[in-house]
A and B are shown apart, each in its own frame.
Chain A
């Protein structure tokens, strides 16, 4: 008994394989006999890193030639399934492209997706996904009732990436099938917005701002503070909805799940939507005017005070330290 073959959708940046992918490969090797990666782009450049984390083979659909990964990678996986060489389980990170791949594949092969998974548990020859619901107060374990492909979208930071000591993974080409009308979207240009600090979901310190900041201009205090503590700036959904900062800043149930060493919540009351995204932080500091704010129920250090008074002093004190 047990799961025979897991494929992980592999994502890369110029810096190599993403943390989310390596976490999934690491976890997968404790769950299945064979762990393989399916990706787009140059697999040979990352076969060492993926092999070191436990992947035996890296299947690539090759250069995307401007396409978004979702359609091509999903088509290739569907082709492998049809040919009888596909996986029993597909794991993808809850990322922009991970969701596209899982969603496309799901509809293509008529298999549902278990989403927002934060833990995976083996159950005989199937896998169960654990999902937090109701603001993280309840954990629900879900599994498929039949033997077909099981697709799971897993939140980054659910597992810790560790090398297995394995050698480089074998590289294999995976053919993309006929895309019909689905392949029309083409990337014409890429824009990198200036960001000097660590990534939001990888930073040791996250400084997040909420409605309590009062106005968009005050978000600058969050950016300044984040820079001073070499952390990443984040935001509550209210601030993203108001258009102060882009969606990529959002911490919460909708948005990113972060687990930094310290999470500093500034002017965030702590709606369940937000708490789900940050309650896994090792330490939480909260500043809020309202002493009844739910954020104080989970903060290790809670400051009942005005962010407009506390933050400038904190920033000044850090600047004075140089």
Chain B
């Protein structure tokens, strides 16, 4: 079974970044890392390929400046190869533009299953997986907690407000997975060394047959009309627990009449 995992390379969340006041886009002058949210999809893909006994995991990513340090992390985990799309015309791309690019890149791989995180850690729109599915004319199951594939059908436990739904979906399909559902493996030293030589196919928009005007800033058809500082919240009283802090909390809750 061939699995494509969509991965995003993002600025380190520990360093939240800023908007460039000139272009109103994210400043991207820092090194990108693999979005931790995507490590669950990579792990799940590797496990499903293992269970199937054949096939491989391929990565698809879109990033500025042919950035691939995050891809190398996922390759070191065990993915076999990657497709990386970079193009200056992609600056300012929103979720739909991203989905157009990913869908075109994924289609070249002809996968049985497409996995993605439910949302990225930096953009968190949570719409890309279904947009990819719609563009590829594929069914999708979002917010997957568990996936099993038997006889060309994926059975997915889909997170709901009340618990979960068991959803059956014929392959090929797109499944987005929530975090914490598998334990992503740490790349071994051998894996890290091997990743350096794994193939990364680099493509631009022309290579994918995508018209530049349909993506990026022009494709977004949106404008930011204002950027303002949000009202800050004031800090209150901070006390050091001397063994009776629970009484302060109780008094606080009593005052608010919530208990």
A interface residues, Cβ below 8 angstroms from B:
13, 68, 70-71, 74, 94-96, 99-100, 102-104, 106-108, 110-116, 123, 128, 132-146, 148, 153, 180-193, 195, 199, 204-205, 228-230, 237, 240-248, 253-254, 261-262, 264, 271-273, 279, 283-285, 287, 291, 296-306, 309-311, 313-314, 317-318, 321
Taking CB atoms, residues of chain A closer than 8 Å to B190 are none
Q: Do the beta carbons of B238 and A153 come within 8 Å of each other?
A: no
A199 CA to B239 CA in the complex, in Å? Answer: 31
Residue of A nearest to B96 (CB): A112
Q: Do the beta carbons of A181 and B130 come within 8 Å of each other?
A: no
Asked if B250 is at the interface (CB within 8 A of a chain A CB), the reply is yes
Q: Do the beta carbons of A116 and B125 come within 8 Å of each other?
A: yes
**B interface size (C-beta, 8 A):** 90
Given contacts A106-B127, A107-B131, A205-B258, contact A303 B137 (CB under 8 A): no
A314 CA to B138 CA in the complex, in Å? Answer: 51
Given contacts A96-B160, A191-B166, contact A302 B238 (CB under 8 A): yes
State which of B94, B121, B130, B239 has its C-beta within 8 Å of the C-beta of A304: B239
- Interchain nearest-CB distance for B21 vs A (Å): 11
Interface residues of A, dominant DSSP:
mixed
Q: Do the beta carbons of A70 and B236 come within 8 Å of each other?
A: no
Which residues between 135 and 192 of chain B lie within 8 Å of chain A, taking CB atoms? Answer: 135, 137-143, 145, 155-156, 158-170, 173, 178-181, 183
Q: Which of B52-60, B76-84, B198-206, B220-228 contacts A (4 or more CB under 8 A)?
A: B220-228
List, sorted by A's number, 19 A–B pairs whose CB atoms are closer than 8 Å.
Answer: A95-B161, A104-B130, A107-B96, A107-B133, A112-B221, A113-B94, A113-B125, A133-B19, A134-B18, A140-B227, A182-B139, A184-B170, A185-B168, A190-B166, A193-B163, A246-B178, A247-B159, A262-B253, A318-B250
Taking CB atoms, residues of chain A closer than 8 Å to B95 are 103, 106, 112-113, 115
Q: Do the beta carbons of B159 and A181 come within 8 Å of each other?
A: no
State which of B121, B127, B173 has its C-beta within 8 Å of the C-beta of A103: B127
Taking CB atoms, residues of chain B closer than 8 Å to A96 are 142-143, 158-161
State which of B142, B221, B239 has its C-beta within 8 Å of the C-beta of A144: B221
- Interchain nearest-CB distance for B179 vs A (Å): 5
Given contacts A184-B139, A253-B124, A254-B119, contact A309 B241 (CB under 8 A): yes
